Amino acid sequence: MLTEKVLEVNHWSDRIFSFKTTRSESFRFNSGEFAMIGQMIADKKVIRAYSVVSPPWADHLEFLSIKNVGLLTNELANIKEDDELILLPKCTGTLRNTFLTEGGKRLVLLATGTGLAPFMSTIRDIDLIEAYEEIHLVHSVRDRDDLAYWYELLSVFEDEPDLHELLKDKFEYTALITGQGDPRIDARFIQADDRVMACGNLQFNYDVVEWCKELGMTEGSNREPGQFVIEKAFVDQ
C-alpha cells in the first residue's frame, strides 16, 4: 500500500471535479487503466477504482470524478492540497490497446460523463496514437458545464507540441450535450472494421456490446484480444 499527497484540486462544475497527487516511483500503469485509491473513513479503509487521467509518463497522478455518488466520492469531493490518499500498487482495467486485435485503422473511443477519464490518458499514449490512422473520441454529457475538464485538457496539448503534431491530422472529438437536445451516443459511430473502447454507465456499456456484436465484432480481454473492449470497473451516474 502506498500513500500519496494531494497536489491540486479543481471543481469544474457542480457535478465534476479532478485532483492531482504525487506518484511514487514504484507505481506503474498502462493508459486506460484504473487505480485503486481511497481514504480512512470512520476508522475504516474505503477503496474503489478510479481511472487515471494522466499519461503513464507523467510524474504525477490525476483523477477525474463525479460528486455525490457514494461514501468515498463524497469524501474526495472535499479533499484539499496536502491531504493524503491511499493508493494500492496494482492497477486494473480492460481499456488497453493490447486487448484489441491488430489491423484496425480507426480507434473509436465512446464515453458518457466522467467515462471520459481513462481516454484522457489513452489519447496521450504515443504508442497507441501511432498504431492508428484515425482516432475518434465521442463524449456524451448532460450539461455544457460537464465539458469544462475537456477544454482544460486542450491547453495541455498546446504545451506538448510533439503530441499535438501526432494528433492533429488523425484525432476527432465529438461532444454531445443531451440536456440541450443532442442525440445520445448510438451505433452510427461504429463501423465493422473499427477498434472500439467504451466507458460509461452500465446500460450504455450493455448497448455498446450489443452494437458491436451486431456488426460481428468480438469482445477483447486479457485472455484473447478482440475488436472492442468495455470497461467494467467504472460506474457513471
Domain spans, the chain: 2-87, 97-230
Which has the higher per-residue pLDDT, 226 or 115? 226
Same fold, 2-87 and 97-230: no
Predicted local confidence at residue 166, as pLDDT: 84
CA distance 233 to 94: 8
Prediction pTM value: 0.89
Number of H-type helices and E-type strands within the chain: 6, 11
pLDDT value for 177: 93
Residue 233: what pLDDT? 65
Q: How far apart are CA 71 and CA 160, in angstroms?
A: 36
109's enclosing H/E stretch is strand 106-112
The per-residue pLDDT for 236 is: 41
Cα separation of 17 and 31, whole Å?
A: 20
- Report the percentage of the chain scoring pLDDT > 90: 58
Which architecture characterizes domain 2-87 according to CATH? Answer: Beta Barrel (2.40)
The more confident residue out of 98 and 153 is 98
User: Tens digits of per-residue pLDDT, 174-207?
Assistant: 999 998 999 999 999 999 999 999 999 889 999 9
Band (pLDDT 50/70/90 cuts) for residue 131 is very high
Q: Are 212 and 219 in contact (CB under 8 A)?
A: yes
The answer to whether residue 29 scores a pLDDT higher than 60 is yes
Mean pLDDT, rounded, for 130-158? 83
Higher-pLDDT residue of 42, 100: 100
97-230 has which fold? Rossmann fold (3.40.50)
Partners of 11 in beta bridges: 17
CA–CA gap between residue 131 and residue 127 (Å, rounded): 6
Q: Which grid cell is 9?
A: 484540486
pLDDT in tens, 158-174: 777 788 788 888 999 99
Work out the burial of residue 211: count CB atoms within 10 Å of its CB; fewer than 13 is exposed, 13-18 middle, 19 or more buried.
Answer: buried
Over the stretch 62-74, which tens digit does the pLDDT of each residue have? 998 888 777 888 8
Tell me what pLDDT residue 110 has.
97
Given a contact cutoff of 8 angstroms between Cβ atoms, the answer to whether 134 and 222 are in contact is no
Distance between CA 104 and CA 17 in Å, rounded?
A: 34
